[in-house]
């Protein structure tokens, strides 16, 4: 047996409501995905993974993998499909799901917003609407009031920087805007929404631990000899990785396009740190790409890539972001880590090599408390539709038949043993340094 993780380490898988529940008809994404050209393969979420009716069958699969934890999200649009109208039946279903996890020996980590909004919020401007801050806080308080006996760990927002950039600059996510100024306004509203929700949660549940799930990735210059590439990497590192988190510990939000805002009441509003890690970004300055902040991504020569062919498999980046995140002095949960790999030929090595970096970080004193693999089952992957397969279990969305991939058994052994396996790592992935 290899490295043994600390006692009480949380082993889980992560999901988001819209991607797995199915038929979220009151969500802004339900309308968005029906607009021509918004989804790569023209597919629809539809029934998704049918969690709204039968999530428990995947909970049983989690039990089979010896998980002691699970991360899932709550759909605001189900609970408040129209402004001021709380759906008691939807609340009861979520409480049933949370109890189901507890009864199976898994501790839930719940995200209150994973990219989607109720359509009525979107109709008022979404993250550009001034009223979103109090509305989000009210929703958070009401959900926490209902679920506080089942949930101790909450994340308010998932990947707020990347999500809002995709939604308000790149136009790839709902509402499909391409306005840098709109992005800045949405970003500031999201900071204030997190702050308001954090305090609302603690007013209801003083012992709750609350954070965000931040997508962290190393940014490196494609050409280390180019001062433009080096400067670009530094700026993007601040914008994407640390600007938002720093605002929640310093009270100052400082970013691109002259963004300067004081958010003193947002300090401190992190009880732990959720880290989503997938890959690194090697960036080159390109004057022809202003919409992408003058960035041209470049893969390293000979890099191993997932089915998302622009995404390099880079385990060392996990160790790098954990080392830097340690500066906040907070417990860390790796709230997402995975790759799209329909053939499952890279996923076993991906899991082992990334967990080796986690083990190294823990050995260096980094306070990592848990790991949630993305994901238990293939799901609807936003603008990429059903083209990317992240699941430990393959899913045919037309029949809802699941088939365990070989990586599921490997991950289950790690969860059971609370330790890394001994033996060789599949070829094609770098060894731990």
Residue 428 has pLDDT above 80, yes or no: no
The percent of residues in the chain predicted with pLDDT above 70, rounded, is 97
Beta strand 273-276 with 260-262 is unpaired
Q: What integer is the mean pLDDT of 155-181?
A: 97
Q: Name which residue leads in pLDDT, 291 or 51.
A: 51
Long-range contacts of 85-94 (CB under 8 A, 24+ apart): 86/142, 91/143, 91/146, 93/52, 94/143, 94/146, 94/147
Compute the mean pLDDT over every residue in the chain, rounded to the nearest whole number: 96
Average pLDDT over residues 420-430: 64
Read off the pLDDT of residues 56-74 as tens digits, 9 standing for 90 and up: 999 999 999 999 999 999 9
The pLDDT of residue 267 is 84
pLDDT score, position 375: 98
Q: pLDDT of 319-337, one tens digit each? A: 999 999 999 999 999 999 9
The pair phi, psi for residue 425, each rounded to 5°, is -105, 140
Give the whole-number percent of the chain exceeding pLDDT 90: 93
Q: What is the mean pLDDT of residues 140-160?
A: 98
On whether the CB atoms of residues 185 and 259 are closer than 8 A, the answer is: no
pLDDT at 389 over 70: yes
Domain spans, the chain: 10-161+187-215+266-280+307-417
In this prediction, residue 427 carries a pLDDT of 42
Residues with Cβ within 8 Å of residue 11, at least 6 apart in sequence = 66, 67, 68, 69, 370, 371, 414, 415, 418
Phi, psi of 413, rounded to the nearest 5 degrees: -65, -40
Catalytic center residues: 159
Query: Would you state the pLDDT for residue 69?
Result: 99
Confirm or reject CATH 3.40.50.300 for domain 10-161+187-215+266-280+307-417, answering yes or no: no
- Cβ atoms of 45 and 24 within 8 Å: the answer is yes
CA-wise closest residue to 247 among 174, 314, 169, 157: 157
CA dist., res. 93 & res. 99, Å (int): 10
Q: Give the pLDDT confidence score for residue 424 in this predicted structure.
A: 55
pLDDT in tens, 88-108: 999 999 999 999 999 999 999
Whether residue 432 is predicted with pLDDT greater than 50 in this model: the reply is no
Q: What is the CA radius of gyration of the chain?
A: 20
Average pLDDT, stretch 102-120?
Answer: 98
* Bond before 175 cis per omega within 30 degrees: yes
With 90 as the cut, is the pLDDT of residue 279 above it?
Answer: yes
Residue 429 has pLDDT above 90, yes or no: no
For position 259, what pLDDT does the model report? 80
Q: Measured between alpha carbons, how far is 161 from 158 in angstroms, rounded to an integer?
A: 9
Short-list 162, 158, 292, CA closest to 217: 162
Full-model pTM: 0.97
pLDDT score, position 433: 41
């Amino acid at each position: 047996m290899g490295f043994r993780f600390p006692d009480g380490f949380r082993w889980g898988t992560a999901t988001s409501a819209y991607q797995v529940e199915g038929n979220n008809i009151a969500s802004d994404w339900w309308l968005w995905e029906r607009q021509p050209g918004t989804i790569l393969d023209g597919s629809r979420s539809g029934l998704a993974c049918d969690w709204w009716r039968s999530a428990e069958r995947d909970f049983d699969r989690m039990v089979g993998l010896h998980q002691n934890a699970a991360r899932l999200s709550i759909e605001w649009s189900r609970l408040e499909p129209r402004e001021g109208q709380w759906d008691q039946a939807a609340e009861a279903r979520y409480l049933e799901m949370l109890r189901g996890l507890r009864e199976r020996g898994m501790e839930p980590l719940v995200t209150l917003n994973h990219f989607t909004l109720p359509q009525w919020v979107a109709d008022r401007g979404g993250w550009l609407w001034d009223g979103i801050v109090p509305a989000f806080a009210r929703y958070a308080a009401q959900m926490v009031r209902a679920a506080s006996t089942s949930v101790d760990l909450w994340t308010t927002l998932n990947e707020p920087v990347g999500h809002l950039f995709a939604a308000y600059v790149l136009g790839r996510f709902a509402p499909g805007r391409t306005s840098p100024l709109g992005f800045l306004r949405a970003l500031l509203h999201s900071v204030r929404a997190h702050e308001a929700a954090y305090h609302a949660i603690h007013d209801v549940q003083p012992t709750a631990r609350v954070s965000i799930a931040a997508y962290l990735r190393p940014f490196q210059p494609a050409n280390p000899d180019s001062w433009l590439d080096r400067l670009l990497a530094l700026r993007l590192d601040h914008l994407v990785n640390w600007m938002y988190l720093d605002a929640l510990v310093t009270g100052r939000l400082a970013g691109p396009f002259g963004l300067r805002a004081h958010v003193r009441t947002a300090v401190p509003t992190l009880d732990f740190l959720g880290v989503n890690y997938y890959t690194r970004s090697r960036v080159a300055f390109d004057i022809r790409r202003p919409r992408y902040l003058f960035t041209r991504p470049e893969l390293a020569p000979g890099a191993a890539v997932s089915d998302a062919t622009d995404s390099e498999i880079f385990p060392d980046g996990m160790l790098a972001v954990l080392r830097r995140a340690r500066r906040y002095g907070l417990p860390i949960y790796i709230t997402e880590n995975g790759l799209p790999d329909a053939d499952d030929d890279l996923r076993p090595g991906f899991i082992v090599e990334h967990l080796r970096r986690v083990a190294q970080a823990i050995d260096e004193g980094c306070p990592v408390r848990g790991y949630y693999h993305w994901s238990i089952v293939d799901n609807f992957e936003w603008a990429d539709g059903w083209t990317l397969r992240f699941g430990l279990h393959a899913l045919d969305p037309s029949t809802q038949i699941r088939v365990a991939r070989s990586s599921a058994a490997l991950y289950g052994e790690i969860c059971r043993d609370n330790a890394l396996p001994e033996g060789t790592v599949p070829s094609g992935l770098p060894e731990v340094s």
